[in-house]
Structure 1
Amino acid sequence: MSLALVLDLFGTFFFAVSGSLLAARRQFDIVGSLFLGSVAGLGGGVIRDLVLGQVPSAFDRPVYLIPPLAAALVVFFLLGSVERFRRLLLVFDAGGLALFCITGTVKALEAGMNPAASALLGVTTAVGGGLLRDVVANREPQLFNRRDLYAVPAMLGAGLVTVLWHAGMFGTAAALGVAAVVFGLRVLSLHYGWHIPRAAGTWHGSRRE
């Protein structure tokens, strides 16, 4: 089993757990949990593969159906013990984000895309599943929450992967290092409330939220 596949499956599982947790908190049934977990876990990869003109891995390799199923079962049996952790959903989301920005970028580079396009597709892969999850669950997408760093860590991770790849330094250790940086930045931003400036500067005199 290749490194890319391992990272992809773990990323799918992390995002699927975040989807199933959101489904549980919205009081969906087990089918809704499985569906929302699948949307979150597989959505980014499907977008990536369609952009590359490939058959989505989720429909071509049955192994990709295991992580969403496992996530739904984990949440079903363990929700009572994990619900006390208020930001658990965001932590799993951070894990998926960290892994998918890597696998999306690597797959684009392997397909021969230029560095900028590869990094952009890596970011799209990372944020796509979470965006679809939030839209389907009728929740404000985390991507557009100005009090949160969401796409920025993915941009950093995709950029690092692209640089390391073209420098001939990308491998297992580098991939794990990038994942740790992205995950750490995402979690720290949640803990300390880091955010980036709004689309309109506050010097215009507007204080609207």
Structure 2
Amino acid sequence: MLLAALELVGIAAFAASGALAAVRARLDVFGVTVLALTTALGGGIIRDVLLGVHPVTALVTWPWLAVAGVTGLVVFLFHPTVARLRRSVLLLDALGLGLFVTAGTTTALDLGAPPYAACLVGMTTGIGGGALRDVLLREIPLVLRREIYAVAALAGAVVVAAGDALGLPAALVALVGSAIVVGVRLVALWRRWDAPVPREGGAPKLDG
């Protein structure tokens, strides 16, 4: 019950971030709702497609669809208020990222994926919705830019895969993996850490 409630909290946080991005892009109510649904559920849909899970979990779990859709509408109607809660949204987003990454990695392992593939699937589960959101808004996905987001997701996925390989209790491994994702993400926001980027000046010019 607690895990299901936390999943819904994560979905709501992801949906709110997608809806806020849509509001900033001046989309209409339909566009805001679509971006909310895409951001909240896109990673899980990609996971299921990669793992051959049919029907896709997000499309047959009506509470997920309802929470994401309603969150999008709430943000559309009250976006100035929601925007002022940015820190709370970021905290919930980090929590959702941790839950989705560990759930995605565990699902992949349970379905027989090798550890390295499970790590990639778990990371994609966490970051896929946000990447789709940015593509729809014609932006370079946030996870490919400077913020420490995908790295945090991958770190948690590696912990889950390693714990599974060592035969540790699944619940404990999932808890530790989620905590690492959330911790790395929040510390990166607090300390304003960024991933390295190329130096300015571009690649050296070749003669001939």
TM-score range, shorter chain: 0.7 to 0.9
TM-score by length of 1: 0.83
**Which residue of 2 is the match for residue 59 of structure 1?**
59
**Which residue of 2 is the match for residue 143 of structure 1?**
143
> Shift of residue 125 of structure 1?
1.2
Question: Is the Cα contact below 8 Å between 1:17 and 1:92 reproduced in 2?
Answer: no
- For 2:125 and 2:113, how far apart are their aligned partners in 1? 15
In structure 1, runs of 5+ residues without a counterpart are none
**Which residue of 2 is the match for residue 158 of structure 1?**
157
Identity %: 39
> Shift of residue 153 of structure 1?
0.3
Question: Is the Cα contact below 8 Å between 2:99 and 2:178 reproduced in 1?
Answer: yes
Cα offsets for 1:152-171 (capped at 9, x unmatched):
10110001111222333344
- For 1:142 and 1:91, how far apart are their aligned partners in 2? 17
Cα offsets for 1:178-199 (capped at 9, x unmatched):
223212211221232212333x
Task: Sort the Cα spacing of 1:54 and 1:166 in 2 relative to 1 into closer, same or farther, 3 A.
Answer: same
Match status 1:119 vs 2:119:
yes
**Which residue of 1 is the match for residue 46 of structure 2?**
47
> Shift of residue 177 of structure 1?
3.4
In structure 2, runs of 5+ residues without a counterpart are 203-208
Runs of 4+ in 1 over 6 A off after TM superposition: none
Paired letter, 2:47:
R
**Which residue of 2 is the match for residue 25 of structure 1?**
24
- For 2:137 and 2:32, how far apart are their aligned partners in 1? 10
Question: Is the Cα contact below 8 Å between 1:10 and 1:99 reproduced in 2?
Answer: no
Matched residue of 2:84: which SS?
coil
> Shift of residue 108 of structure 1?
0.2
Paired letter, 2:36:
G
C-alpha RMSD of matched pairs (Å): 2.6
Matched residue of 1:83: which SS?
helix
Cα offsets for 1:131-155 (capped at 9, x unmatched):
0011112222111113x11211011
> Which deviates more, 159-168 or 7-16?
7-16
> Shift of residue 97 of structure 1?
2.0
Cα offsets for 1:7-55 (capped at 9, x unmatched):
5444332211111111122222222111001111111111110111112
> Which deviates more, 49-58 or 179-188?
179-188
- For 1:86 and 1:13, how far apart are their aligned partners in 2? 14
Matched residue of 1:168: which SS?
coil
Paired letter, 1:167:
L
Question: Is the Cα contact below 8 Å between 1:105 and 1:121 reproduced in 2?
Answer: yes
How many residues get paired?
202
TM-score by length of 2: 0.83
